[in-house]
Amino acid sequence: MIELFFRWRLWKLDRAYNRLDNKLAAEEAGAKLKGASQEELVDLHNERGDRFFQYDVERKALITRHLAGQANRYFVPWPSIEKGSPYWEESYYSAGSHVLTEEGIKKVRTEIREEKRARRESAVAWIAIITGLIGALTGLMAIILK
């Protein structure tokens, strides 16, 4: 359920960004057609770039929070925040807060997958043992009750 909620929030963020980007692109194209000055075009282009940068930071923050929850649930070690770390970058909009870089996201997701795989393998082994015991007991009961 948590994964579904995360995906929904990520979809909402993507949709809001795409709508805003389309609106800003239309404004920029309209300004070009109206013969706007170079300064106005640069301002519109810069606003569009700023919105993308803000979207990117919000998206990384959302992914970082989601991965933090998963890492805590599966007891996966979290990369330490230290200056010059390839896994973290300082958030542009929140002074003092950090978000995972693409490399950090990849590292944490890989470690979470490995932990899930290890847990699944041990569960499958136990299921195989239990299934074998149930089969043996059923066969034994069939022989005894015959």
Q: How confident is the model over 66-79, as pLDDT tens digits?
A: 999 999 999 999 98
Question: Is pLDDT of 1 > 60?
Answer: no
> Which residues on neighbouring strands pair with residue 89, listed in sequence order?
99
Expressed as residue numbers, the domain containing 65 is 2-108
The verdict on pTM exceeding 0.95 is: no
Residue 127 lies in a domain: no
Environment class of 74 (CB within 10 Å of its CB; exposed 0-12, middle 13-18, buried 19+)? middle
DSSP conformational letter for 97: -
Angle, helices 102-145/38-73, rounded to nearest 10 degrees = 30
Model pLDDT, residue 94? 66
Residue 97 lies in a domain: yes
Q: How many domains does the chain have?
A: 1
Residue 11 lies in a domain: yes
How many Cβ atoms sit within 10 Å of the Cβ of residue 28?
Answer: 18
CA distances from 107 to 30, 66, 68, 87, 97 (A): 43, 14, 12, 8, 19
Question: Is pLDDT of 27 > 70?
Answer: yes
Residue 126 lies in a domain: no
Mean pLDDT, rounded, of the chain = 88
